[in-house]
């Protein structure tokens, strides 16, 4: 008798994971190659003085470690002169919080207290924006970075373009250094701890917008992130799933395939397979035998939790062979 062959497919109920876009830019200044947690931008020379820009982003969990107390104990970054945290935000930043949770409290404060004012022609420095409770994307980024630094985090603003269809708009967002995760991007005008392939980073602010040709457009994966109220949040901790056979006596060639959008993984159950760094949320587990779904179940995977699923196979009758 040949060994059993089982296909286990884990498919997300939402399309999440990696996303990418490709552009051809022609202008006086080119983007700069850039790589941080969840964002990679590659720039190559094209034809007729153009550059080919490939941007890839990931919604994998951030993976920060450590406590906020550890952040506060390190050397404080430079902050604008006379700049202080608002009292209500300062009271929320308790030492027992994790570093990611504390930095997220800062982002939450910005979302609740500062408004995006697209045509704001007033100064966009952090103090001015906080004083009037709003500003352009550059002002929100300046204020967010200053608040993070006042809270003890290293933070910096990133200037570049936001590709909207075939139109490029000057834009600014933020990167914050989190313990164990490195520099992590976040866009105060978009969501927390994630940016999209529509973000194209430059070394300096873009004064003259280049001509843009979209070779491959970005998808809409960001919309499938978990939400905190109306805000999209890239989580810090992923979930882990262990698929295990209930009886391995006759099942020596079991295959597990894990799929989430374009993210496909494959492992042999011998007698188990372990999948880590899964986005928390609801997933659909399907067990296939001879190309036929013999079991289907929805799984709610919690952040930071290890979930175990026992695979129960139907027993063959007589000399029936399964698989090849």
Q: What are phi and psi of 186, to 5 degrees?
A: -155, 140
pLDDT at 223 over 80: no
pTM of the model: 0.84
3-state secondary structure of 25: strand
Give, as one character, the DSSP assignment of residue 221. Answer: G
Whether the predicted pLDDT of 299 surpasses 50: yes
pLDDT digits (tens, 9 = 90+) for 39-55: 999 999 998 889 999 99
CA distance 66 to 305: 18
Q: What is the pLDDT of residues 262-283, one digit of tens each?
A: 667 777 777 888 888 888 888 8
Find the helix packing angle between 99-113 and 137-150, rounded to 10°: 140
pLDDT band at 197 (very low <50, low <70, confident <90, very high): very high
User: Average pLDDT of 91-108?
Assistant: 97
Please state, in angstroms and rounded to a whole number, the distance separating the CA atoms of residues 233 and 218.
19
The predicted structure's pLDDT at residue 2: 37
> What is the Cα–Cα distance from 298 to 108, expressed in whole angstroms?
31
For range 244-254, the mean pLDDT: 66
DSSP category for residue 99: H
CB atoms within 10 A of CB 187: 25
- What's the CATH class of domain 6-14+237-311? mainly beta
Over residues 130-152, the pLDDT tens digits come to 999 999 999 999 999 999 999 99
Question: Which residues are CB-neighbours of 189 under 8 A, at least 6 positions away?
Answer: 116, 137, 140, 173
pLDDT at position 261 is 62
Alpha-carbon distance of 275 to 142, in angstroms, equals: 39
Q: In this model, does residue 8 exceed pLDDT 50?
A: no
E strand or H helix at 128, and its extent? Answer: helix 126-132
User: Which H or E run contains 34?
Assistant: strand 34-36
Place of tokens 């003890």: 152
CATH 2.60.40.1120 segments of the chain: 6-14+237-311
Asked if pLDDT for residue 61 goes beyond 60, the answer is yes
Mean pLDDT of the chain: 85
Q: Span 80-107, mean pLDDT? A: 93
DSSP characters for 135-188?
E-HHHHHHHHHHHHHHTT--EEEEEEEEEETTEEEEEEEEEEEETTTEEEEEBT
Q: What percent of the chain is predicted at pLDDT more than 90?
A: 56
**CATH 3.40.630 for the 18-224 domain, yes or no:** no
Scan for tokens 């300062």, then name that residue: 90
> What SS3 state is found at 72?
helix
Region(s) of the chain under CATH 3.10.620: 18-224
Per-residue pLDDT at 318: 53
């Amino acid at each position: 008798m040949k060994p059993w062959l089982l296909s286990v497919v884990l498919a997300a109920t939402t399309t999440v994971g990696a996303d990418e876009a490709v552009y051809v830019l022609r202008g006086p200044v080119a983007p700069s190659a850039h790589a941080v947690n969840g964002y990679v931008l590659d720039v190559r020379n094209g034809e007729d003085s153009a550059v080919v820009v490939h941007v890839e982003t990931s919604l994998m969990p951030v993976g920060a470690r450590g406590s906020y107390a550890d952040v506060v104990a390190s050397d404080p970054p430079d902050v604008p002169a006379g700049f202080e945290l608002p009292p209500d935000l300062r009271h929320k930043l308790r030492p027992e919080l994790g570093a990611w949770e504390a930095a997220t409290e800062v982002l939450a404060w910005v979302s609740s207290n500062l408004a995006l004012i697209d045509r704001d022609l007033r100064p966009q420095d952090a103090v001015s924006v906080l004083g009037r409770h709003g500003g352009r994307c550059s002002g929100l980024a300046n204020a967010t970075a200053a608040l993070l630094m006042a809270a003890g985090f290293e933070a910096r603003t990133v200037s570049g373009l936001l590709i909207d269809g075939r139109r490029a708009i000057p834009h600014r967002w933020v990167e914050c250094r989190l313990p164990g995760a490195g520099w992590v991007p976040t866009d105060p005008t978009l969501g927390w701890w994630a940016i999209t392939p529509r973000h194209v980073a430059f070394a300096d602010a873009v004064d003259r917008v280049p001509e843009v040709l979209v070779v491959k457009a970005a998808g809409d994966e960001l919309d499938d992130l978990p939400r905190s109220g109306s805000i999209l949040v890239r989580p810090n901790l992923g979930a882990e799933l262990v698929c295990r056979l209930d009886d391995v006596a006759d099942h020596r060639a079991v295959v597990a395939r894990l799929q989430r959008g374009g993210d496909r993984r494959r492992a042999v159950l011998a007698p188990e397979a372990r999948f880590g760094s899964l986005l928390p949320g609801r997933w659909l587990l399907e067990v296939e035998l001879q190309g036929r779904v013999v079991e289907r179940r929805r799984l709610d995977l919690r952040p930071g939790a290890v979930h175990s699923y026992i695979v129960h196979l139907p027993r063959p009758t007589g000399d029936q062979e399964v698989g090849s």
